[in-house]
Amino acid sequence: MAAGPSRSNGGEDVEDLLKKLKLSEEEREGVVLAKEERSNLPEVKWMAVARVLTGKGFSDESLKRTMLAAWNTAREVTFRPIGKNLFVVQALCLGDWKRITEDGPWLFRDCALMMEHYDGASPNPPIPNRVQVWIQIHRIPPLFRTEAILKQLAAKVGEVVKVEARVFSFGNGEFHRARIWLDAARPLMRFVTLSPEGFESMALQVKFEKMPKYCSYCGLMGHVDLECGSGEFAEEELQYGSWMLAPMETWHPDTPRVRGGFVFDKEGNRGARGQTDRGGRSTSRGRHAGGGRGMHGDSRGRGSEPVWREKDGQQQNNGARKRTSDDAGLEPAKANELTDTATSPLKKVNEDAAGGLERPIVQRQLYLEGPKEHDGQLMEVPPPPPQYVAPKDMKRQRRSATSSANGKALANKTAGSLGEHRRDQ
């Protein structure tokens, strides 16, 4: 873990400037801080330096948005760039800090976000160069399943954080799990050898949980084999592969799952999230398939046809876009059954298609006003639609009609009573 270079505004290293320049006595005279003053300084809490394990460029804002969404923190987290591919991250509560530093590894575009604690006491922060991951050591004989032996085996892979003495069963085998730091400058370990005295040496397979992308040729994290040197390697030269990855269902319960997940094809080859043909070489050769976004790659990683064009060709081949009966392969008799014989007031009837059929009753009832002449031709126009009446107006009309009927009935009743009274007199 080296200290990072301090750069001036011009981009030149401060260390290089100090080697070239001669400082004056006033510049050399420093500000001395006593131990009492240092003890009274506020403690810098929950701060780390972060770096993405990649040689490619990316947007700082995109990294910030992606990580804040993945961390889902309870309080605000500051994300400040201090150099190219170098950031200072600081949390405001212990819960967010433990999630950021202990629940990884965190991936950005399939590359690891490496982090190192920073106490803020040096102008040159440490440069992160390791990734904390869970590993699985498979098929350890029951006699040697002690915590001490597990730590020795895990130490062959990386710096041990902790081990789990509990044995886990999955499929046809058993494994033990350990949390370690992987050195980014060191190739991945595929096997560890256990050689007890008086027993035969045994090679134990190591599998990795939630790993960033790595090279199938050199075994280093941060790139794939197509980006390693010339990218042209024979099949036997590729000594690393997707068989080193543990299935997601066997991951540690606290490990954040990858949204969308890595996709494995039928042969067990690993692709990028949501697709099996990005970030490597042909799956037919046991490696990643190339081609980039929206492209299907060939055996050398070059893109061919865009996805949308390929899907368009599939639709044309499966009959989804067939326009005529000839394209659909229908017989003439069945094609006649599909002939358009529907009519409307504004659509001229196809006499050949209609075949002299009688005009429908509904259509005859539409011609209430009779034919009208337009430019010397008779046109049959349907009647206008009924006028819209609002519900309030309809209620008002019903009330007025009811009132009028009640008034007439009352008048008739009164007139009849007067006539009967006169006859009685």
Q: Are 5 and 85 in contact (CB under 8 A)?
A: no
Q: Looking at beta carbons, which pairs linking 63-72 to residues 24 or more positions away fall under 8 Å? A: 63/87, 63/108, 63/113, 66/108, 67/106, 67/108, 67/113, 70/106, 70/256, 71/96, 71/99, 71/100, 71/106
Distance of alpha carbon 381 from alpha carbon 384, whole angstroms: 9
How is residue 386 written in tokens?
């009924």
Whole-number pLDDT of residue 317: 54
Determine how many CB atoms are found less than 10 A away from the CB of residue 174.
15
Determine how many CB atoms are found less than 10 A away from the CB of residue 170.
13
Whole-number pLDDT of residue 289: 37
Whole-number pLDDT of residue 27: 78
Q: Which of 287, 244, 239 is nearest to 267 (CA)?
A: 287
Taking each helix axis from N to C terminus, what angle separates 94-102 and 60-71, rounded to the nearest 10 degrees?
Answer: 110
Angle at CA of residue 69, ends 215 and 5, nearest 5°? 55
Q: Are 116 and 48 in contact (CB under 8 A)?
A: yes
CA distances from 305 to 270, 273, 278, 291, 415 (A): 22, 20, 14, 9, 95
Distance of alpha carbon 175 from alpha carbon 208, whole angstroms: 12
Cis (ω within 30 of 0) for the bond into 105? yes
Whole-number pLDDT of residue 96: 93
Whole-number pLDDT of residue 273: 40
Whole-number pLDDT of residue 372: 56
- Collect all residues with Cβ–Cβ distance below 8 Å to 137 and sequence separation of at least 6: 150, 153, 154, 175, 176, 177, 178, 192, 204, 205, 206
Domain residue ranges of the chain, discontinuous segments joined by +: 1-11+40-128, 130-308
Whole-number pLDDT of residue 140: 93
Distance of alpha carbon 167 from alpha carbon 178, whole angstroms: 11
Whole-number pLDDT of residue 280: 38
Q: Taking the chain (425 residues) in consecutive chunks of 10 residues, what is each chunk's mean pLDDT?
A: 50 74 80 72 85 91 92 91 90 92 90 91 87 94 93 95 90 89 95 92 94 94 93 93 91 75 40 39 39 39 49 54 56 56 54 52 50 59 77 87 77 63 58
CATH node for 1-11+40-128: 3.30.70
Whole-number pLDDT of residue 328: 56
3-state class of 191 per DSSP? strand
Give me the residue label for tokens 């009028």: 404
3-state class of 199 per DSSP? coil
